[in-house]
Structure 1
Amino acid sequence: MELGIALSCGCNPLHIERDPYIGTYGSMVENAMNITTAGATPLCAVDCLNFGNPEKKERYYELKEAIRGLGDAARKLGVPIVGGNVSLYNDSREH
């Protein structure tokens, strides 16, 4: 039996912008599927959440729903989130 490490990262920002809950949930599922497809077992996850100013109602909603989607997906998949990074106030001219 060969031993190794399988990693997967990524998301679709357009999906998350359209629906933060479904987009983030889908990102967790996609990354778990990528690892499983490689013949490995997803054991844990880390996050990297980058959002705008949470003092703005719309940006706060996006952050809240993304966290909810991430947590729900992690629980459903049985994959604990063991660390990560949250970066806020990443506003652009569009937001």
Structure 2
Amino acid sequence: MKPSEALAAHREEVLAILARYPVANPRIFGSVARGEDKEGSDIDIVVDALDGCSYTHFFRIEDAMKSLLRVEVDLHTMPEFGLRMRSRVEKDLRPL
């Protein structure tokens, strides 16, 4: 199954996972956002980290999503990216 198909099938559960943690504004980017994903692709997600958010929260979110979707999930915040990468990510961004 392609990651985009897994995400579409479990969108509400993914949003429920995110709602348990201090993050907001989830968006996808990369091959899933561009409609170019294939089996073996990952899902790239950007969120806004709210007060109290920690790396532990990110690891828990990623683990819960990986277990649910059965695909690799990479969770990011925009400040992680340098200017060149941020520009590429911003072109792809789609609401989750």
TM-score bracket, shorter-length normalisation: 0.3 to 0.5
Give the structure-2-normalised TM-score: 0.34
Give the structure-1-normalised TM-score: 0.34
Structure with the larger strand share? 2
Larger Cα-atom Rg: 1
